[in-house]
Structures are given as structure tokens and as C-alpha cells.
Amino acid sequence: MAVPQVAHAGGFYLQEQSVKGAGRAFSGEVADQGAESLWWNPAAIGGVSGVDSHFAISAILPKGSIDNVNTLIVRPGQTPAAVGGDQRSRNPINNGILPSGAIAFAVSPKLAVGLALTSPYSFTTDYEATSWVRYTTDKTKLRTYDIQPSIAFMPTPNLSIGAALNIEYADATLSNYLPNLSPLLADGHQELKGDGWDLGWTAGLQYRAGPVTLGASYKSSVKHDLKGSITTTGLLGPLAGQNGSIDTGASFRTPWQATVGARVAVSPRLTLNSQIVRFGWSEFDSIKLGSPLNTAIPENYRNTWSFAGGIDYSASPQWTIRAGVQHDQTPTRDGNRDARVPDADRWNFAAGSSFALSRNFTLNAAAAYIAFKDETIDRTTAAYAGSAAQTPILVNGGVNDAHAVVLSLGGRLTF
């Protein structure tokens, strides 16, 4: 269903779920109507007639470097030493393709049902085995696949109320290299894998009064409980007893989202859009590992804001152009940021267009340039924490010259 490689909202949230939304920097989705806004607000399908559907595909093309400044490793009984390895990792976040889609049906003039298919929280970072970050990460992969059945009811001609269930599958892999006690020995390796199905929910409403539409929605956090294993290889000498595979579980939470927005048609051709999102990223405080490990990987994410504004302009009855700007905060904190998710505050500059090829089919296209702030990679970690072999990794690096281009293409079909 999806092959996402990188997130382009804060943290590891993928917001590229609509081409129309991408073209205006996601500035009006909670207040727009139709299947294209179903992921953000189930009330968006209230009042649809017949069948309304959309499909979208986005190519996500990130660039940037993860650079070492002065990372040190402290082996037991030894003085701090340079971590070694390649001092710059270029483009560790791979290019990716993200498809999505939704469909809505009018059951009656007041009642509609719909279904959205998305991959909202997904990313991959992939470093060489010789990278300076190898003891904190070499490959991290998360895939979430969200099936969102929705219902919307219009108790009055101006008000739409919606609710949805989020059935979400998660598949995760986290791995890193492990230092042996002597710097002359080759590194060991550790990999944690797991998957599972879990549930969340979404609720929203829209108020439509002439040229003004107001929207609000809340999307719950989803607690993912994964079943899997942790495999350790390549440890030598006193550490060799840790080699092997252990069945275990892991759990983490995605953030909740509270979204408000408005669309105002200031003329028959021009519509202004605005949207504010509060993300509850503090839910992602750690990745908890179950028995027999009974430990946790701290994350310490913070709650964040996203602000967006944009326009839609009808150049002709068939052709609409749009544009928007979005500022999105990173949930990662100084002192807690690692190379698994080398995130930073970003600006999203977007433009797009729609062209009605027929009465029932509209083609959508969008392009965006995302500029990331330079940021530190600075979370201290330790191999074999709490044991006599504890080996701290004093991380001191940074994210530099990071940016991304996102190209989206899709269409809307009604019948």
C-alpha cells in the first residue's frame, strides 16, 4: 500500500495524504469538503452526493548531511577516544514513494460513509556500517498503515459532524552496531523487530455558512503494542554470552492531533485558507521493551505547533491554481536528538493546480520545497548500560544543509 521513506511534517508524521492539500501547504484540509480531506476530518464528507473518491501519489526527495563534530566513545577502563568512522553521512534518508486514497458514499442527503487508506507515521534512515553514528543507529524503519472507516451526519444544512475508527498496523525495525571491549575488534550488531495491529479514533465537525467554512477535528494517539524479537551478533570475549535472539515485545505511542482551520471565499474566484495543528508528541516519550528485557529507549519528544496559510484561485471554470506556506516545529529536543530521526524545524513552500478533464474527473498536481533548520545531534547513549561493560557514546554532531522536494500527482473521481 505504501513505500514511505521520510517524514515531512514534524517528527515522523507524513502529511502527504492529498495532492490538493499538498499544493496549498496543508492550510485548509480540516475545513475543506470531500474525500480528499477525509484523513483530517471525517465531517468533510457530510453532504457529498453520489460517490466521491480521490487517489494520490507523492515522490519525496530529501537531501542533507549528518556530520560529526567530536563524538567520543568511553570503553571500560580506557580514556575517551574518537568514535572514528566516516565523519559525514550524506543523504541517510532515502527517496521514497507514498500513495494514499479515500472514497465516500452518500447514504442519504444527511448521511455519508467513507474509507481512507494512508500511511501517516512512517520513515526510514539508513547509514553505512562505517558511519560515525553506527553505535546509535545504522538502520531504522517504521511503517504504519492506517485504515479509516468514517461516518458523517448533517443535523442541519450548515453543520456536519463526523467520526472515524483508525485501524493501524505498525511494522518497525531498529538496529545499531555494538562496540566490543577492544577497539581492535570488529563491531557486533543488534536488531529489534516487531509488528502489530492497534486502534485509535478521530472526531470532527464543520460549520458552513455561505462563503465561510470552519472546521475542527481531534485524532487520538494510538498505542502500538508490537510482538517481535531482538537479535545480537558479533560480540566477542566476555560479551559473547549476549549473542543470540530473544522474543520480546515493544510499545510506543503516536501523537494525538488537534486541528482547527477556516476557508473563506472572499470572491467567486479566490478562497483564503488557514490551519493550525497542535501535535501531542509528548505521547512518544519512550519505546518500552517488554519481558525479559523490561527496559525503555527514551525519546522525550515535546508537543508542537504547525501553522499554515494558503489560497485557491479559480483561473477558469476548469482550472484552479493554489499556493501556501507552512511552518512546522520539530518535537525533538536539544540534548535528546539522535540520528535515528534527524529532525528540525522546517518551512514548507508549496504550489499546485487542478484541471477538470471532465465533469467527473479532475487531475491534481503539486510541488513543494521544504527547508530544514540546521540542528544538533547530541543525545548521549551507552552500550551495555547498567553493567560492568557499560560503554558511553558521547554524541556530538549535527544535521546540516537539509532540504527536500516533494512532487505529488493524483485525481478526484465522482459519479
- How many angstroms separate the CA atoms of 300 and 304, rounded? 13
Per-residue exposure over 120-150, b if at least 16 CB sit within 10 Å of its own CB, e if not: bbbbbbbbeeebbbbbbbbbbbbbbbbebeb
Name beta bridge partners: 385.
Answer: none
pLDDT values of the chain reduced to their tens digit, one per residue, 415 residues = 233 344 456 788 999 999 999 999 999 999 999 999 999 999 999 999 999 999 999 999 999 999 999 999 999 999 999 999 999 999 998 888 999 999 999 999 999 999 999 999 988 899 999 999 999 999 999 999 999 999 999 999 999 999 999 999 999 999 999 999 999 999 999 999 999 999 999 999 999 999 999 999 999 999 999 999 999 999 999 999 999 999 999 999 999 999 999 999 999 999 999 999 999 999 999 999 998 888 888 899 999 999 999 999 999 999 999 999 999 999 999 999 999 999 999 999 999 999 999 999 999 999 999 999 999 999 999 999 999 999 999 999 999 999 999 999 999 999 9
Domain 19-414 maps to which CATH number in 3.30.200.20, 2.40.10.10, 3.50.50.60, 2.40.160.60? 2.40.160.60
Helix (H, G, I), strand (E, B) or coil at 34: coil
Stated pTM of the model: 0.94
Residues 6+ apart with CB under 8 A from 170: 121, 142, 143, 144, 195, 196, 198, 224, 226
- How many angstroms separate the CA atoms of 42 and 39, rounded? 7
Supply the pLDDT for residue 193.
96
Longest Cα pair distance anywhere in the chain, in angstroms?
76
Main-chain dihedrals φ then ψ at residue 241, nearest 5 degrees: -65, -15
Residue 280 has which C-alpha cell? 501531542
Residues 6+ apart with CB under 8 A from 136: 176, 338, 339, 340, 379, 381, 393, 395
Residue 290 has which C-alpha cell? 517488554
